[in-house]
Copies of this chain bind each other. A is one copy, B any other.
């Protein structure tokens, strides 16, 4: 198999583009897609400070790698979830990646800062681990980006993530979630920082290939808590559809974005207010984070 662009030995077939690429052309392609995402979706400008949420997986490390290649001013933010060996490995790989590039990394440990890891938090509050983890991540991503004056928070969500989230939202017609599913969510005056997903144009397998070609040492295991999740079922189903008709995920998600153009994506209409305890943005009187923390304190 030869690269359709330059004739070198190909490393990846890309059925949805009816092509195959070598390592160099893969890099060009991946970087081009990120550039286009940043521009098309008005994610950030040169000179802006970008906080990259890095789990240690292929997506977030690839995102950070590319943003540094493109010479954006970035820092990484890693949350230590305290999910046994998985979190240990994730932390180590993230630190090693940051050190190898001399990049600034902010580490936030749930055990140290909130007093308990994800599994304990879930138990104490009768939430699923994924729900507790989601609250902790969203809260800390936003608070840290805001307090440290970053212009935007970037996450490594890829085309597969977004298409499967879209599928889940559409299967149950979750209007609220559909209205907010965008690669760029604007900031609001209520301390919600701008959020962006610069990898939304790239398929998971393209990112994996990029990580391998560029020798990015990432955590291969999925989070052990994700087994059996709806998200994985949706991904499996979309992979089946993609195998039958390459380009399905792209047509599905990009088509959705086309239809959504001009829709109001500001968070304002949700009646966001300041949490009466911590002052962070929330739609309730006391935010979910503070409600979880209250139970942690009661238990210790």
Question: Which A residues form the contact surface with B (CB < 8 A)?
Answer: 170-173, 230, 233-234, 236-237, 240-241, 244-245, 248, 251-252, 255-256, 258-259
Contacts and interface: CB of A to CB of B under 8 A. Distances in A.
A17 to B, nearest CB: 17
Given A230-B245, A245-B230, A173 B255 contact: yes
Copies, count: 2
Contact of A252 (B172, B234, B256): B172
Which 10 A-B pairs have CB atoms at the shortest separation, nearest pair first? A173-B255, A237-B237, A233-B244, A171-B252, A172-B251, A171-B248, A237-B240, A237-B241, A170-B170, A173-B259
A57 to B, nearest CB: 24
B173 A251 contact: yes
Contacts of A245: 230
A246 B259 CA distance: 29
A170 B249 CA distance: 11
Contacts of A173: 251-252, 255-256, 258-259
16 contacts: A170-B170, A170-B252, A171-B241, A172-B248, A172-B252, A172-B255, A173-B251, A173-B252, A173-B255, A173-B258, A173-B259, A230-B244, A233-B240, A233-B241, A237-B237, A237-B241
Contact of A240 (B170, B236, B251): B236
A42 B102 CA distance: 69
A5 to B, nearest CB: 28
A171 B251 contact: yes
From A251, A255, A258, A259, residue with most partner B Cβ within 10 Å: A255
Contacts of A234: 241
Nearest to A254: B173
Nearest to A233: B244
A165 to B, nearest CB: 14
A289 B11 CA distance: 48
A176 to B, nearest CB: 13
A163 to B, nearest CB: 9
A248 B171 CA distance: 7
A248 B230 CA distance: 12
Contacts of A252: 170-173
A173 B240 CA distance: 18
Contacts of A244: 230, 233
Contacts of A258: 173
A236 B173 CA distance: 21
A13 to B, nearest CB: 21
Contacts of A259: 173
Contacts of A233: 240-241, 244
A258 B245 CA distance: 29
Contacts of A230: 244-245
A259 B252 CA distance: 19
A121 to B, nearest CB: 26
